[in-house]
Amino acid sequence: MIKWLLSHFAGAAIRFVFGAIFGAVCVIYSFSPAEWLASIIVSPPPTWIVHPYFRISILLVGIIAIGLSIFFLKKSKISAKELIVSTKADAEITKKREYTPDAEMRAAIDEIYTALDEAESVYDRGCTLANSWRSSLLQREAYAYSDDLKSYRSSVSDSIVKVADLCGKKYDRFIEINKFRNNNFSFQKDVSEPLSILIDKLDKQNAIIDEGILDLLSPYLEDFQISVRKFGEWARASKALFRNMRNQC
C-alpha cells in the first residue's frame, strides 16, 4: 500500500514539474502549441512532412509501437496469471502444512492429556476432603484426616511432576508443549504450602478435636480449600488447552 502511494505521488510530482517547465518555456518564448499545429495544418506543410521516407518512418514507428504494446500487454497478463497460480499454490501448500496431521505430536498430546485426567481425579479427591473437613474432624481423630491430607498432597505432587516431565523432558522438542511447560507451573507453591501448613497444625493437635479447636483451625482449612480450587483450575484449564491442541494437529 505504501509503495503504491509513493509511486503514484512520485509520478504526479514528476508530471507536474515537467508540465510547469514546458509551460514556462512556452510563456517565455511566446510559443503556443495549438497555434503551431494550426499553422502547420492551414499553411503548406514543410517538405520533410510530405517526404515519402518520413511517411514510411511514421508508419514503421506506429507498427512497432502497436506491436510492443500488444507484446507487453500479453506478457503482463501472463505474469499476472502466473502470480495468481503461484499464490494459490503457495496457499494450498501452507494450508496442507498447517493441517497435515502430526501423528507423533498427537500421541504426545494424548499421553499428557491422560496425565491431566489423572490430575483431575486427584482434584476430585481434594474437593471431597476440602468440603467435608468439619464433619471429618469432628467424627474422626485428627491424625486420620491428616493422613488423608498427606496422601492427597503426595498425589498432587506426583500429578504435577508427571505432567511437567512429559512436557519438559520427553516432549520438549514440540514448541507448543514446551511453551506450556515454561508458562503453567508457577502455581505449585500456592497449592502445596497451605496444605503443608494445615498438616503441620493437625499433627500437633490431640486425637479429639472439638468446635473450639476447629474455629482456630478454620483459617488454615479455608486456605486449603483455596489451594484445592487452584489445583483444579490448573488441571481443567490445561486439559482444555491440550484438547484444543489435539483438535488442531
Query: What does the domain layout of the chain look like in residue ranges?
Result: 1-43, 46-100, 103-248
Distance in angstroms (rounded) separating the CA atoms of residues 106 and 90: 26
Q: Up-side HSE of residue 7: CA atoms within 13 Å toward CB? A: 4
Helix axes 188-203, 142-165, angle to 10 degrees: 160
Packing angle of the helix pair 142-165, 103-131 (nearest 10 deg): 170
Q: Answer whether residue 123 shows pLDDT above 80.
A: yes
Determine the 3-state secondary structure of 78 from DSSP: helix
Number of other residues whose CB lies within 10 A of the CB of residue 127? 15
Q: Is 130 helix (H, G, I), strand (E, B) or coil?
A: helix
pLDDT band at 248 (very low <50, low <70, confident <90, very high): confident
More confident residue, 91 or 214: 214
Mean pLDDT of the chain: 79
Mean per-residue pLDDT for 38-66?
Answer: 77
Q: Are 125 and 158 in contact (CB under 8 A)?
A: no
In the chain, the amino acid numbered 184 is N
Residue type, 211: E
Q: d(Cα 62, Cα 108) in Å, to the nearest integer?
A: 71
Q: 3-state DSSP call for residue 1?
A: coil
pLDDT of residue 141: 74
Length of the chain: 249
Euclidean distance between CA atoms 145 and 150, whole angstroms: 9
Which pairs from 232-235 meet CB under 8 Å and 24+ separation?
A: 232/120, 232/123, 232/126, 232/127, 234/119, 234/184, 234/187, 234/191, 235/116, 235/119, 235/120, 235/122, 235/123, 235/159
pLDDT higher than threshold 50 for residue 99: no
Question: Class for domain 103-248, per CATH?
Answer: mainly alpha
Handedness of CA 106, 156, 160, 237 (dihedral sign): positive
Residue 218 has pLDDT above 80, yes or no: yes
Grid cell digits, residue 53: 521516407
Q: Are 91 and 228 in contact (CB under 8 A)?
A: no
The runs of H, that is alpha helices, within 166-210 are 175-183, 188-203
pLDDT at 69: 86
Whole-number pLDDT of residue 90: 58
pLDDT at 154 over 70: yes
- The dihedral through the CA atoms of 106, 112, 114, 117 has a sign that is negative
Whether residue 132 has pLDDT greater than 50: yes
pLDDT at 100 over 70: no
Asked whether the predicted pLDDT for residue 94 surpasses 60, the reply is no
Give residue 28's pLDDT: 85
Q: CA 71 to CA 69: how far, in whole Å?
A: 5
Question: For the whole prediction, is pTM greater than 0.75?
Answer: no
